Structure 1
Amino acid sequence: MKKEFKLTDTKLAPARQVDAVKHEINKYIARERRKTVAEGSDFWDFDCKFGKDKESAATIHVSEINKLIDKEVSEEAASFYIEILAKSAKRMQKAKA
């Protein structure tokens, strides 16, 4: 998913628009996690970028998405860019001391 989301809409209240954006992002992540992983992989990992536009997007962890959306809303931004790319990964064992 590579998309620029608008935080303002003429038909929806700002809070409902933010909820709709978060719902669409969470729905995409859930859909990707339901797919079968490749041979030798355990789970789906996500490469995420977030920013005001495509050029200023920085790498983030998937768990930070909602916090950054809320930050953009509090700064009264009109839109933001998000990029979420799924990749299959294998869990690493923790090093034993």
Structure 2
Amino acid sequence: MKKTFNITGTTHKPDRQVELVKHEINKYLARERRKAVPAGADFWDFACKCGANSNSATAILVTEFSKKVDEVAANKPDTIYVEIIAKPGTREKKSSD
């Protein structure tokens, strides 16, 4: 998902619009996690970016989305850019030392 969310040009107040953005991100992540994992993979991993626009977006962990969206929204931008790319991931076996 590569999407630019409009914060100021909607019928909702900006604070409420930020909450709607976070809700849509969580819905998308849940939908992607429900998909069947390809053979040879253990889980779905996500390559994520977030920022005021596509040029200023920085790579983040999937667990940091809520904080990053709040951080970007604190600067009062007109838009928030979100990029989430699902990719199959494999777990590394721990070495027994």
Structure-2 separation of matches of 1:26 and 1:88: 18
1:85 maps to 85
TM-score (structure 1 length as normaliser) = 0.90
- Percent sequence identity is 49
1:51 maps to 51
Q: Which runs of 5+ in 1 are unaligned?
A: none
Structure-2 separation of matches of 1:50 and 1:36: 26
Alpha-carbon spacing, 1:10–1:4, altered in 2? closer, same or farther (3 Å): closer
CA shift, 1:41, in A, is 0.9
Question: 69-78 or 36-45, which moves further after superposition?
Answer: 69-78
Structure-2 separation of matches of 1:55 and 1:10: 23
TM-score (structure 2 length as normaliser) = 0.90
In the alignment, is residue 6 of structure 1 matched against residue 6 of structure 2?
A: yes
CA offsets 1:7-56 (integer angstroms, 9 cap, x no match): 22441122221111111111111000000000111110001112221122
Structure-1 separation of matches of 2:16 and 2:55: 27
Cα RMSD (Å): 1.3
Q: How many residues align?
A: 97
SS at 1:41 equivalent? coil
8 Å CA contact retained: 1:9, 1:17:
no
Q: Which runs of 5+ in 2 are unaligned?
A: none
Runs of 4+ in 1 over 4 A off after TM superposition: none
